[in-house]
Copies of this chain bind each other. A is one copy, B any other.
Amino acid sequence: MPTTTPSTIPTVTSSMTMAQALNAALGDGLREDERVLVFGEDVGPLGGVFRVTDGLTKEFGEERCFDTPLAEAGIVGLAVGLAMGGFRPVIEMQFDAFAYPAFEQIASHVAKLRNRTRGRLTLPMVIRIPYAGGIGGVEHHCDSSEAYYAHTPGLKVVTPATPDDAYWLLRDAIADPDPVVFMEPKRLYWSKGETALGDRRAAAFGRAVVRREGRDATLVAYGPSVPVALQAAEAAAQDGRDLEVVDLRTIVPFDDETVVASVRKTGRCVVIQEAQGFAGVGAEIAARVQERCFHSLAAPVLRVSGFDIPYPPPILEHSHLPDADRILDTVDRLQFDDQPDVLHLAREAS
Binding site for B on A (CB under 8 A): 73, 97, 100-101, 103-104, 107-108, 111-112, 115-116, 139-140, 143, 147-148, 150-151, 153-154, 252, 254, 256, 264, 276, 278-284, 286-287, 290-297, 299-303, 307-310, 337-338, 340, 343
Taking A139-B112, A309-B153 as contacts, is the C-beta distance between A291 and B303 under 8 angstroms? yes
Oligomer: number of copies: 2
Q: Are A294 and B284 in contact (CB under 8 A)?
A: no
Do B286 and A291 have beta carbons less than 8 Å apart?
yes
Bound-state Cα–Cα, A293 to B147, Å? 25
Instruction: Say whether A300 contacts B310, CB under 8 Å.
Output: no
Which residues of B sit under 8 angstroms from A309, Cβ to Cβ?
115, 153-154
Partner of A295, one of B254, B280, B337: B337
**Of B151, B283, B284, B294, which one neighbours A300 at CB under 8 angstroms?**
B294
Cα of A343 to Cα of B257 in the assembled complex, Å: 10
> Which B residues are in CB contact (< 8 Å) with A254?
278
Give the residues in chain B near A343, CB-CB below 8 Å: 256, 292
Whether A299 pairs with B310 at a CB distance below 8 angstroms is: no
Are B338 and A276 touching (Cβ within 8 A)? no
In the complex, the answer to whether A108 meets B140 with C-beta atoms within 8 Å is: yes
